[in-house]
């Protein structure tokens, strides 16, 4: 599920047995090799195909672009704590000045003062703000994040994700995803 989202990898979107993506953040995709393995192990149904074919001495098949699990897996409610998801929660906006350029991560309570790397203490910050704040406490720097950092749920990220679709989405995936495709990535 850590396959690259480059089109050259012919990634397959992985749906749960209820035809919803197995996970949104990160989006559940498999490399084509894993998708085909799962087909042969009878763990998935093929929902959609790419035009692209692969063949060997014994078989020939079109690569699946969407597969669905045969057995329902209870989805996790808590999105993974990842860099992308922190940016998504903060809408790819510096939490000190609203800039969208040159984004980095800032520990609100600096690590040198015992601040943890958690949802509640990490925010998106542009590089100039990050430098300006340095290792000062937020009150001392007069820099409080616009929004108190929090642990988002899947719904929160989903709301924001509509505005920030991932870089690569195959046409055949669109029916299974919610975000608005008319918005430019
Ligand atoms: Zn800033």
What is the percent of the chain with per-residue pLDDT over 90, rounded to a whole number? 60
Q: What's the 20 CA to ligand 1 centre distance in angstroms?
A: 36
Domains of the chain by start residue, with CATH = 12-69 (no CATH), 83-164 (1.10.30)
Both tokens of 91, joined, read 């809408």
What pTM did the predictor assign?
Answer: 0.70
Residue 53 alpha carbon to ligand 1 centre in Å: 48
Tell me the C-alpha distance between 113 and 109, whole Å: 7
**In angstroms, what is the span from residue 90 Cα to ligand 1's centroid?**
12
Q: Tell me, in angstroms, the distance from the centre of ligand 1 to residue 114's CA.
A: 23
pLDDT tens digit sequence for 157-181 = 888 887 776 667 788 887 787 644 3
Q: Are strands 29-30 and 103-107 parallel, antiparallel or unpaired?
A: unpaired
Strand 29-30 versus strand 44-55 pairing type: unpaired
Which tens digit of pLDDT belongs to each residue from 122-165? 999 999 999 999 999 999 999 999 999 999 998 888 888 877 76
User: Could you tell me where the DSSP H helices lie in the chain?
Assistant: 32-40, 83-89, 127-133, 138-141, 154-161
């Amino acid at each position: 599920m850590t396959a690259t989202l480059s089109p050259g990898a012919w990634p397959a979107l992985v749906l749960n047995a209820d035809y919803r993506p197995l996970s949104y953040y990160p989006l559940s995709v498999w490399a084509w090799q894993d998708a085909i393995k799962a087909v042969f192990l009878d763990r998935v149904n093929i929902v959609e195909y790419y035009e692209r074919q692969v063949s060997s001495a014994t078989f020939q098949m079109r690569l699946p672009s969407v597969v669905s699990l045969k057995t329902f897996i209870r989805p996790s409610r808590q999105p993974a704590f990842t860099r992308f998801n922190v940016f998504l929660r903060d809408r790819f906006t510096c939490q000190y000045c609203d800039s969208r350029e040159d984004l980095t991560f800032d520990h609100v309570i600096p690590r040198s003062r015992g601040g943890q790397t958690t949802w509640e203490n990490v925010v998106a910050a542009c590089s100039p703000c990050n430098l300006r704040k340095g290792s000062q406490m937020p009150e001392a720097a007069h820099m409080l994040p616009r929004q108190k950092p929090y642990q988002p749920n899947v719904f929160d990220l989903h709301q924001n994700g509509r505005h920030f679709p991932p870089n690569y989405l195959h046409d055949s995936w669109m029916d299974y995803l919610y975000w608005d495709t008319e918005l430019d990535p």
